[in-house]
Structure 1
């Protein structure tokens, strides 16, 4: 796992914690047989979307993964923080990513929630509608 960067007062930065969470989620998904296609995909321009991990299942399904890490499970936990606005931005970015594909593969939107000891993998957590 990567070294967590510290800010000036010795606290771990939010970016470093997010990157470490993405590392953990990616390792978990790869152990489940998924292959990494791209990490931290961003659409060009202002106001676009961002996708933490884009993975592919052995059957060819492209999986757009949002990774959420929380130290506490209050208010529904980490997975509950992926609201409608965030979902729309992820779907927008996924559509942009797939523009370059000649043949559209099956796709789904998953969430990996990092709370406690084991990652929680919510397959097909939301859809593009």
Structure 2
């Protein structure tokens, strides 16, 4: 596993723990199909939440949220549609797309700062 992949998996685990502490439950982690991958699929009360986790080592080169362009959003939506197709028990639940951005803390060494953007984009 490359260093970049290890960092990505660590950030996703950090985000998962953060969301679980906020009261969400994990349905799937790194769910993938031919259309793409969704980092986290969570449940908040009755809502299925598709979460894209983005990490930037240095926020001066563009924020993590900026890296989710229309192509990536379309891919996430198509992947989520396929998830519902494969797991029809979730079809009756409302859903939304959230983004968690992460970057190293500027004040505490070896700490990440997370920003949870709920309903990050419309479908």
Question: As a proportion of its length, which structure holds more helix?
Answer: 2
2:39 maps to 1:52: yes
Q: TM-score of the superposition, structure 1-length normalised?
A: 0.82
Runs of 5+ consecutive residues of structure 1 not aligned to the other structure: 8-12
Instruction: Tell me if structure 2 keeps the 8 A contact 1:98–1:104.
Output: no
Runs of 5+ consecutive residues of structure 2 not aligned to the other structure: 106-111
Looking at structure 1, the residues matched to 99 and 55 of structure 2 have their Cα atoms a distance apart, in angstroms, of: 11
Looking at structure 2, the residues matched to 87 and 74 of structure 1 have their Cα atoms a distance apart, in angstroms, of: 23
Secondary structure (helix, strand or coil) at the match of 1:127 reads: coil
2:29 maps to 1:29: no
Looking at structure 2, the residues matched to 127 and 50 of structure 1 have their Cα atoms a distance apart, in angstroms, of: 19
Looking at structure 2, the residues matched to 122 and 85 of structure 1 have their Cα atoms a distance apart, in angstroms, of: 19
After superposition, what is the alpha-carbon deviation per residue over 1:39-74, rounded to whole angstroms, capped at 9, x for unaligned?
11111x3xx12100000002x100000000111112
Secondary structure (helix, strand or coil) at the match of 1:104 reads: coil
Looking at structure 2, the residues matched to 69 and 18 of structure 1 have their Cα atoms a distance apart, in angstroms, of: 7
Secondary structure (helix, strand or coil) at the match of 1:54 reads: strand
2:116 maps to 1:121: yes
Mean alpha-carbon deviation: is it higher for 95-104 or for 113-122?
95-104
Secondary structure (helix, strand or coil) at the match of 2:120 reads: strand
Give the CA deviation at 1:75: 4.1
Looking at structure 2, the residues matched to 69 and 104 of structure 1 have their Cα atoms a distance apart, in angstroms, of: 32
